[in-house]
Structure 1
């Protein structure tokens, strides 16, 4: 289990526990994180679960595959540190990860 901290679009910070093996998106949806809509349910086909990852955490995450990269190209506010939370599986190593939900998903 890992504690993941989300900064919602209005600046509110919420820390939630997500079980290892779940995606960050699954945990966010179950806990009502504002701005994580997950319209496709985690199939990596909508990009409504985009988050910004702090630079110091990027190297700790698995690399983006071509499907995720393609979906991110359609996001209006994509940045170099953008990831789809449906594509990040939780492990104990992610305990303390802080993510920002972009305004565009509010």
Structure 2
């Protein structure tokens, strides 16, 4: 298990244990984290699981693939460095302590 911190737009924090092998989106879904909608169920076919990765974690995550980059074009207030789709981030023990911030809204 890895601890992932989800920070809602208003500042409320949710620190939850997420099983390795799941995605950060699945961890949010399984723990009823508000603000991560995940309309496509994790198929990288929408941008409703968009978050901002804490700056300390940006370089520690795997690089964005082209499909994720394309879907981020549809996300709300994209940050070119910190924006990620949680469906594309697999939880590993190296991600223990990851912090993500949920934007004001999802499209």
Normalised to the residue count of structure 1, the TM-score between the two structures is 0.95
Contact 1:4 1:96 in 2 (8 A): yes
In 2, distance between residues paired with 1:76 and 1:27? 21
Give the whole-Å Cα distance in 2 for the aligned partners of 1:76 and 1:103. 8
- On the 8 A contact 1:77/1:104 being kept in 2, the answer is no
Q: Aligned residue for 1:103? A: 104
Matched residue SS, 2:60: coil
Partner of 2:105, secondary structure, is helix
List 4+ stretches of structure 1 deviating above 4 A: none
Structure 2 partner of 1:91: 92
- The root-mean-square deviation of aligned C-alpha atoms, in Å, is 1.2
Superposed displacement of residue 55, structure 1: 1.8
In the superposition, the TM-score normalised over structure 2's length comes to 0.95
Distance 1:12 1:105 in 2: 17
Partner in structure 2 of residue 43 of structure 1: 43
